[in-house]
Structure 1
Amino acid sequence: MQTDAAAPTGVAPAPSGGRRFRAYTTKHLDELTARAGLGDEERLATRAVATVLPFRVNAYVIEELIDWSAAPDDPIFRLTFPRPDMLPEADVNRISNLLRQGASRKELTAAANEVRAKLNPHPAGQMELNVPTLGNEDPVQGVQHKYPETVLFFPKQGQTCHAYCTYCFRWAQFVGEPDLRFASDEIDQLVAYLRAHPEVTSVLFTGGDPMIMGEGVISRYIEPLLEIDTLESIRIGTKALAYWPQRFVTDPDADETLRLFERVVDSGKNLAFMAHFSHPREMAPDLVQQAVRRIRNTGAVIRTQAPLIRTINDDSATWESMWRTHVRHGMVPYYMFVERDTGPQDYFAVPLAQAYEIFRGAYRSVSGLARTVRGPSMSATPGKVCVDGVTEVAGERVFVLRMLQARNPELVGIPFFAAYDENAAWLSDLRPALGADRFPFDP
């Protein structure tokens, strides 16, 4: 680590932030849930859920973010630890019995895979509809091209995270099943694809979490993109600021990582740091605030986003607090997402009508600087569908919807209507309103 005078951002590392990264996985789960006061049967059921869905947390989350006196109801505990009621009771009981009987890993994996198959592991057709090809019609591995101007890239070394969110719609990337993973280490293929498709102006590095990679690895992916003139922006989707801010302050390659960010900005491209913050407490530690300042001082723009998650952030005051804090620290509120139709959606989903009221309650209480945020938005198969309101048209109560992004760009920004349904939680739960027999995006 260089001295502060030589550091790329002029922000001193935090003296207390130098602890080495330590991950906790399912082998530590029984010990950690006992700390939360769970009894034997509830701990066993938690292990059963963790057999199906991924679990990983780290020392920073455990010691700095979770309020153990409030666990298991603490929102950060719920954000990172599986709960017995996240899956159907029959599935949890089945796997709990296998664990109780000392079943083999093969038996447990087979049972877990049967449950996973029912959880829609790849929503929005991401394994079939978005995979591009080069001129020889071979698929470009680890690349999704959902919208004309935007390509997503999944670097192979970035297919894990500093900690896993229990609501994560990309949970299938982390369960160790190769058929469910989507990734590549072929940066040359991506470069060739971008050169053949000059309409693509933005690349989003996602995963997993690209910031799990060291500077040397992530540079190998990003540096070649700086030579592509048609590329205007590089985005990095990450939760590292919330789960391991040391990555940008005290880790051995923190300064080198920030120099990489500076090189992206100096090349004339926008570096958009897409930071996932799910709860105001994630912004409380001084270390996070130092990391934010260091990243911003490279010229990168930090945009913040998160899903609306039941039991974690499903009230207006929480979102208002988050957006106000983000603006105070120079970040740009970007999206409130609707929990996707995958994994434990039934446990975490908030009905669209309630989601709109939560969004509106927070939106009307913040200044215009925070009203850059869009939502509540569903990242569905046709595109990003935003719930703009609930109103009455010709005597019928309806949702007012709008596409913020679409596979067909002609549909972007055009309002349309769905019949009001207080229980609807996803686009597939809605039906056209006002006598229409289809939505604009329907075939």
Structure 2
Amino acid sequence: MIFFKWFFKISPIRLISPIGPLAQHFRFPRGSRKGGLLLTRTVLYYAHSTGEWNVEKWKKILRDALHDPAELAERFQLSADELRKVGKVFPFRIPRPVLERIGSPGDPLFLQCVPDGRELTASGDLLDDPLGEVRFGKEECIVQKYPDRCLFLVSGECAMYCRFCTRKRKFRAPFRVGKKQIDEGLAYIRAHKELRDVLISGGDPFLLDDDRIEYILKGVRAAEHIRIIRIGTRTPAMLPERITVRLVRMLKKYHPLYVNVHFNHPAELTGPAIKALNRLAEAGIPLGSQTVLLKGVNDDPEVMRELMWKLLEARVKPYYIFQCDLIYGTEHFRTPLSKGIEIVKALRGWSSGMANPHFVIDLPRGGGKVPLVPDYLVKAEGRFRTYCNYCGEEYLYPDLDDTPGKD
């Protein structure tokens, strides 16, 4: 206590990064000792209370992330040679805070982020580009499959490389998106007046610096025909430190802006993750979740129910459960379609409708998304339909007679 009293009495103002930029929010007369002390105290309080004093912490976590096969092999008693072979096809990166939460080989986080020799196994059903993004590519970083919206790929980097990634093909060689590609994408968006909705993805857009993100958002928003901007990110789950006050303050200038987050297991909703989600929500940014159905990770109705409820409590609306895409090297993650139907059926009625996402498959070679739903129809007799509810109880519903010529 004595030290802090002494510090606040005599400490000069030395505004250096990352505290320095905060000075712009405060104005005092030059030479004002009183103002200077108040500025020091205010900045220190502001920085402590918001976490902005550590605004660059996320970059350090990213730099320190585990990507060494030998270290990973030693930690979990794995084959370093196998890790190297898989890593040449699709690299790995595990942030240290995520690494510390992995209990043992086989737990949900381990399966998602640690390379597996089975990734090198080919299957006739699996594809290099299952979503047909090459086929529907318009510019180097634009994909347009639907009439009124497009995908804008602005980053070639992720905080953690998911082993089931849809875009594995892009990471075999360094995948860089520079200003030239961004400007070409913005020009495409401006030129195509039929577009109303732009989904900004990557990689992970939030691994770009704030000024680059703002450059992109400002460019998209300048196209008057664009009504909605969406950003897809996994940083709240894998690098929550990235969701800084400064980032969120910038994002809220570009409403209507939606953020789709990616969570696959309840264990990913840590305290820092929930704090990051709350920070986005408090800025008025609607949040939706996307979850990939993965064997051994979340292919269990109870696990999925807990995940959906935790997301809803964190102010995230469960949006999609995706059947794992038909990516080369992901056979060990796949589940039968019936498993997804079973899970959706287990959610319906036993969880709030707000906690019930759509279960969808992305049709091969760019066919687009198709929702799959349980069939509750038991039988149809004339205009009467018998349905079963979530408890399995049967109820008769009188339909209207739609025979032509009848009222």
Q: Distance in 2 between matches of 1:256 and 1:16?
A: 11
The counterpart of 2:254, out of the listed 253, 264, 277, is 264
The counterpart of 2:113, out of the listed 80, 85, 99, is 80
Which residue of 2 is the match for residue 283 of structure 1? 269
Which residue of 2 is the match for residue 98 of structure 1? none
Aligned length: 336
The counterpart of 1:122, out of the listed 117, 129, 132, is 129
Which residue of 1 is the match for residue 229 of structure 2? 234
Verify the 8 A CA contact 2:118 2:329 in the aligned structure 1.
no
Equivalent residues in 2 for 1:242-257 (5 A)?
242-248=237-243, 254-257=244-247
Letter in 2 for 1:84: G
Which residue of 2 is the match for residue 169 of structure 1? 166
Change (3 A) 1:305 1:313: same
Q: Distance in 2 between matches of 1:11 and 1:306?
A: 32
Q: CA deviation at 1:118?
A: 9.9
Which residue of 1 is the match for residue 50 of structure 2? 12
Q: Distance in 2 between matches of 1:234 and 1:5?
A: 34
Task: Confirm or deny that 1:52 pairs with 2:59.
Answer: no
Verify the 8 A CA contact 1:245 1:287 in the aligned structure 2.
yes
Q: Distance in 2 between matches of 1:391 and 1:369?
A: 20
Task: Confirm or deny that 1:153 pairs with 2:160.
Answer: no
Verify the 8 A CA contact 2:66 2:96 in the aligned structure 1.
no
Change (3 A) 1:4 1:310: farther
Which residue of 2 is the match for residue 274 of structure 1? 260
Equivalent residues in 2 for 1:368-407 (5 A)?
368-371=353-356, 373-380=357-364, 381-390=366-375
Change (3 A) 1:82 1:187: closer
Which residue of 2 is the match for residue 131 of structure 1? 137
Task: Confirm or deny that 1:29 pairs with 2:69.
Answer: yes
Which residue of 2 is the match for residue 66 of structure 1? 102
Structure 2 portions without partners, runs of 5+: 1-18, 23-42, 381-407
The counterpart of 1:211, out of the listed 193, 203, 206, is 206
Q: CA deviation at 1:187?
A: 3.6
The counterpart of 2:278, out of the listed 293, 297, 309, is 293
Q: Distance in 1 between matches of 2:157 and 2:140?
A: 18
Q: Distance in 1 between matches of 2:45 and 2:222?
A: 30
Q: Distance in 1 between matches of 2:177 and 2:125?
A: 19
Letter in 2 for 1:364: G
Which residue of 1 is the match for residue 16 of structure 2? none
Q: Distance in 2 between matches of 1:363 and 1:15?
A: 44
Verify the 8 A CA contact 1:159 1:183 in the aligned structure 2.
no
Letter in 2 for 1:160: E
Letter in 2 for 1:62: L
Q: Distance in 1 between matches of 2:354 and 2:374?
A: 21
C-alpha RMSD of matched pairs (Å): 3.0
TM-score (norm 2): 0.75
Verify the 8 A CA contact 2:152 2:200 in the aligned structure 1.
yes
Q: Distance in 2 between matches of 1:217 and 1:282?
A: 28
Q: CA deviation at 1:393?
A: 9.3
Q: CA deviation at 1:364?
A: 3.5
Partner deviation per Cα, 1:182-234 (whole Å, 9 max, x = no partner): 88743443333233322211111111111110101111111122222221111
Q: CA deviation at 1:25?
A: 5.2
Change (3 A) 1:148 1:288: same
**Secondary structure at the residue paired with 2:188?**
helix
Q: Distance in 1 between matches of 2:301 and 2:267?
A: 15
Partner deviation per Cα, 1:264-320 (whole Å, 9 max, x = no partner): 12xxxx211110001111112x21121111111211111111210111111111111
**Secondary structure at the residue paired with 1:186?**
helix
Task: Confirm or deny that 1:366 pairs with 2:351.
Answer: yes
Task: Confirm or deny that 1:220 pairs with 2:257.
Answer: no
Change (3 A) 1:376 1:119: closer
Q: Distance in 2 between matches of 1:25 and 1:176?
A: 19
Q: CA deviation at 1:369?
A: 1.9
Equivalent residues in 2 for 1:318-397 (5 A)?
318-371=303-356, 373-380=357-364, 381-390=366-375
**Secondary structure at the residue paired with 2:306?**
helix
Q: Distance in 2 between matches of 1:328 and 1:54?
A: 34
Verify the 8 A CA contact 2:86 2:119 in the aligned structure 1.
yes
Letter in 2 for 1:315: D
Change (3 A) 1:12 1:120: same
TM-score (norm 1): 0.69
